[in-house]
Amino acid sequence: MLTIQPLVALIISMMVTAITLPLMRKLSNRLDLMGADIHKETRPRIPKLGGLGIFLGVLAGSTAGLYMAGFIDTAVALGLALSASAAIGLLEDFREINPIVKPILIAAAGIPIIILGTYTPYPELPLIGRARLTILYPILILVGITVVANAVNSTDVLNGSMALTSLASLTPLIIISFLEGKWEALMIGLALLGALGVFLSQNYYPARIFSGNAGSLVVGVSIAVLAIVGRLEVVALIALMPQIMNEFHIIFSLGGLRNAKNIPHRPVELEGGALRASASHKAPITLVRLLTATEPLTEREVVVRMALLTSYSALLAIITYLFFIGG
């Protein structure tokens, strides 16, 4: 039984993230990589390179823990996947990426997982047990990484929303990994937990730093790889259901993949310091718009409700595993 390595992954991730986030704020200011906080009346400009701090924290923590435990292939595959997702996100922070090309690029982050064979093509399904998907599973890896990364990315719209909802979705994966002795998955989960926890302390309302696309894509890819390595695919899908449904609602309401900067009508409007759902039928349907459809809510209230909804899905994920998959 492993004991030290998961703690090493957690502690190193927290330390590296805590050290690098102030550096990323300074770098953002120096390079003028700032994002307008559009849900505040003063629209303050916030440094948006915080995602690199998340990336470095998860990379350092998971690599240390996995190498110590002898999971070399997993460490290398995860490192390459995280590096690819961070590079794609950073590129999008600098310039627009064609919305059709972006999912293909993100899917490429799954190639190291396939090449190094750090997966088992026998996912555990509710009531069915292990399913043999030897030929199909590599394709599902590419699709799954794309869906999860974009789903997490779609929730990064308010102060603390991406980090808080991701932490809620991550919790059942960590709990089950610990209970079932899925040590590779546990170390990835704890490394992500440490990085997100530190980042949230500086991103929660009022945010002092944004994650940018680099951060949200890294978080999404980390969760997807954790689920693949730990054979917790169904658990992850249930835990991430609010984020996934949010992404698909956006796509369907816009009639396809669109760049966020080219959407003429925003889903919510700022009204006296509160957020109110847009009345325009051309505005995309998002989770935030749905939550503010009946009454205006402050940014904090919306984020708390997003976190509660995701926590409910996380609870359903644990129940599903305990009663219909595990054992």
Give the domain ranges of the chain. 4-236
Listed range (80-84, 126-130, 270-274, 300-304) with the worst mean pLDDT: 126-130
Indicate the range of 151-160, 236-245, 277-286, 315-324 predicted with least confidence. Answer: 277-286
Alpha carbon separation from 108 to 77, 138, 221, 233, 240 (Å, rounded): 12, 12, 11, 19, 21
Can you tell me the distance from the alpha carbon of 131 to that of 74, in angstroms, rounded to the nearest whole number?
22
Per-residue model confidence as pLDDT tens digits over 116-150? 999 999 999 998 888 999 999 999 999 999 999 99
Task: Give the pLDDT band of residue 1 (cuts 50, 70, 90).
Answer: low
CA–CA distance, 275 with 296 (Å, rounded to integer):
5
What pLDDT does 281 receive?
A: 87
What confidence score (pLDDT) does residue 209 get? 98
Given a cut of 70, whether residue 261 has pLDDT beyond it is: no
Task: Read off the pLDDT band of 176 (50, 70, 90).
Answer: very high
The angle that helices 241-254 and 137-154 make with each other, rounded to 10 degrees, is 80
What are the two backbone dihedrals, phi and then psi, of residue 24, each rounded to the nearest 5 degrees?
Answer: -70, -35
Regarding pTM above 0.95, the answer is yes
The pLDDT of 323-327, averaged and rounded, is 83
Instruction: Kindly tell me the number of DSSP H helices and DSSP E strands found in the chain.
Output: 13, 6
**To which H or E segment does residue 201 belong?**
helix 183-203
